[in-house]
Structure 1
Amino acid sequence: MTDSAKPRARAADKRRRLTTEAARVLHEQGVERTTLADIAHAADVPVGNVYYYFKTKDELVLAALSEHSGHLDELISRLDQLPDPRARLKTLIEAWVDQREVTARYGCPTGTLAVELGKRADGTLDTEAGTLIRRLLDWAGDQFRALGLPDPDDLALTLISGYQGMSLLANALRDPDIMSRQGARLLHWLDSLQAPGQTP
């Protein structure tokens, strides 16, 4: 690496750390309770340097949403490697259940952010959060469509609603077992769905 490239690499690393920690800290503390200093401390970046990369907290929220979008891309990419759409959906549910301890403590990262941002007067960032949920809904709808099931978009809505509901309850009651139990129900529900003309 050349001497001129080193500062750029350090700057990129700082921005990356800030973005990663913004996603984590905002999930754990919420938008209103989180300060730029909280994120700077978590990222091990001097507070004054944060403004070089992000002028406002809203810019950091956007960066956090971008981080969540990247995680969703990675998840969908892994799921799409599975040959069967039902297996993809079941693996998605299993991935949700695997995160039950974090979810019980802090809620769904995207869902809680969308709810909090939806209560703000300006109403711009909530649209970005909603876009992530829409992407997951569309992907799930495509899986149900590939299975030849009727009303695939409604089935996707049922699935994602089930996840958001169990996430909210697990968080509200601080009970990760809710995720395990409801995840098992969703898996059973998926197994019960048959396309017209198929035998169970």
Structure 2
Amino acid sequence: MAAAARVLHEQGVERTTLADIAREADVPVGNVYYYFKTKDELVQAALSEHTAHLDELTGRLDRLPDPRDRLKALVRAWVEQRDTAARYGCPTGTLAAELGKRTDGTLDTEAGAVIRRLLDWAAHQFRELELSGANDGKNGGTADAADPDDLALTLVAGYQGMSLLANALRDPDVMTREGARLLGWLDSLR
């Protein structure tokens, strides 16, 4: 599954073959055919891998005591992947965009569900930020005035945009600069 996720990210769905996955996984191609009869099954496996990676990342971030620190650590994790983003784009975002152009299934919806999972996690962090700020008297009203779902959308859209531009321009510094801008934005929410 990890090999499928990597190869699909690097080559795209249409250019990837089962043999490519077998080569990346260092297994005979028959093994891949045994577990995955179609390319769509490989895409589903890659989406499961993206979900597992997201769950692992957010699980680690959830150990941080402050929701703002969790959100900022998420942005830093994105920036750490700047070279990969500049080369291939966001793993889930590029897959979702590619699948969205197909008319032959529901895989685009499944890719959207992974992104929705990230949006929901981020919105939960903004809700906690809003509650903690409202309870300690330090909230200047900014987080109270904004809907947590909208803030999450702004954050994830910022990531998708910087990832797409870093890839289109082949410039990892886009991730660094825009990541710093997102960190500043998170600090401005009081």
The answer, yes or no, to whether TM exceeds 0.5 is yes
Measure, in 2, the Cα distance between the counterparts of 1:121 and 1:147: 40
Q: Helix, strand or coil: the match of 2:14? A: coil
* 1:141 shift after superposition: 0.5
* 1:123 shift after superposition: 3.5
167-176 vs 149-158, which moves further = 149-158
Cα RMSD of the aligned pairs, angstroms, is: 0.7
Aligned partner of 2:37 in structure 1 is: 55
Amino acid at match of 1:126: D
State which structure, 1 or 2, has the greater radius of gyration over its C-alpha atoms.
1
Aligned partner of 1:167 in structure 2 is: 163
Aligned partner of 1:158 in structure 2 is: 154
Aligned partner of 2:25 in structure 1 is: 43
Identity of aligned residues (%): 80
Amino acid at match of 2:155: L
Measure, in 2, the Cα distance between the counterparts of 1:165 and 1:123: 26
Q: Helix, strand or coil: the match of 1:172? A: helix
Aligned partner of 1:188 in structure 2 is: 184
* 1:96 shift after superposition: 0.2
* 1:51 shift after superposition: 1.5
* 1:55 shift after superposition: 0.7
Q: Helix, strand or coil: the match of 1:60? A: helix
Instruction: Kindly indicate whether residue 80 of structure 2 is the aligned counterpart of residue 84 of structure 1.
Output: no
Q: String of CA shifts for 1:12-70, please: whole Å, max 9, x gaps.
A: xxxxxxx1100000000000000011111111111122221111111011011101111
Aligned partner of 1:179 in structure 2 is: 175
- Which one of 123, 126, 137 corresponds to residue 141 of structure 1? 123
Aligned partner of 1:198 in structure 2 is: none
Measure, in 2, the Cα distance between the counterparts of 1:189 and 1:50: 45
